[in-house]
A and B are shown apart, each in its own frame.
Chain A
Amino acid sequence: MKSLAELAEIRERMKSKVVLREGGNEIRVVVGMATCGIAAGARPVLNAFVEGVNRESLTDKVTVTQTGCIGICQYEPVVEVFQAGKEKVTYVEMTAEKAEKVLQEHIKGGRVVEEYTITHAKKA
């Protein structure tokens, strides 16, 4: 059974990591989690980013956060990627699978997945 003692072990393990993290995060992934986003399937998208960022050991570089409705409900689930010195990228109609591709190609590889962006969706 999971115990609070196990949680205390996590605390001990993480204390050392906290010091390393002071470099600051370079990329911020923001998932829209208002009624519109949640109803359209934002929860698994958020989970895919949270799990993916951890799996790829990117937690020092990337933070995954939630936001409310940004006003483009028809394109939900919406994910915005902010990176210092670069223009914000807005991904629309996301799924967990698309999140994985964004993680690999954009977050890790630095190449925007154009076909999932709002610019591409508006052209279609």
Chain B
Amino acid sequence: MKELSLNILDVAENSVKAGASLIGIELDETEELLTLRITDNGCGMTPEILASVTDPFYTTRTTRKVGLGLPLLKLAAEQTGGSMTVASRHESTNPEDHGTEVTATFYKNHIDCTPMGDVISSIVTLIQGNPTRDFVFTHKRSEGNVVLDTRQLRDVLGEDVPLNSFEVLQWITEFLREQYAGDENR
């Protein structure tokens, strides 16, 4: 992957496939560290599958949860000296509170840290392809936080206008761009 934002798009798609209705994408930046956390309320994974998710050569091809997505994210994190962890509660054992949490930490100043790239495009792509799911995107930065919660947008738009209408996607792009540029406008 050429951009971390592509890893984000890819791993968040796993949450979609796991049937999640709410997906959280959180970026937390300090001077030295970047922490990416993707959480969902999808079906979760059994301990057996969880144990093999980071093995690129293990594939069941029936769960669609195993493949190169997580190994590539793990590689991207580890090549900076960071790490990736996955925690999951499967719906069979946790019927009330199931889902998955992927956390990856990156040392930002490491020469092998993949650039973030166009994270706005990844968020908009996720919403375009999955207009019935909700996404909560948070980017905590020293310059000011960036936040998007599609549940708020859905409240305003009602049932008449899908979240992936072109005008809405454009609004989301601008909304995020303005937040990222906010510190320059102040």
Contact = CB atoms under 8 A, between A and B. Distances in A.
A43 interface: yes
Interface in B144-186: 152-153, 156-158, 160-161, 165-169, 171, 174-175, 178
B156 A50 contact: no
Interface string A10-42: 110111001000000000000001111011000
B161 A18 contact: yes
Interface in A25-78: 33-36, 38-39, 43-44, 46-47, 50-51, 53-54, 59, 64-66, 68-69
Residue of B156, B157, B160 most packed against chain A (CB within 10 A): B156
15 contacts: A10-B171, A11-B157, A11-B158, A11-B161, A14-B160, A18-B160, A18-B161, A34-B13, A34-B67, A38-B6, A43-B118, A43-B122, A47-B124, A59-B166, A68-B13
A99 B9 CA distance: 21
A2 B157 contact: no
B121 interface: yes
Interface residues of B, number: 35
A47 B125 contact: yes
A66 B129 contact: yes
A2 B178 contact: yes
Given A6-B171, A46-B128, A11 B156 contact: yes
B10 to A, nearest CB: 5
Contact of B175 (A2, A36, A47): A2
Given A11-B156, A43-B6, A35 B69 contact: yes
A59 B156 CA distance: 22
Contacts of A8: 156
B75 interface: no
Contact of A14 (B1, B6, B118, B167): B167
B86 interface: no
B166 A50 contact: yes
A68 B17 CA distance: 9
Given A6-B171, A11-B156, 10 more contacts: A2-B171, A4-B152, A7-B168, A10-B167, A13-B167, A14-B160, A14-B165, A35-B72, A39-B2, A43-B6
A84 interface: no
Interface in B55-72: 64, 67-69, 72
A44 B13 CA distance: 17
Contacts of B122: 43
A42 B158 CA distance: 30
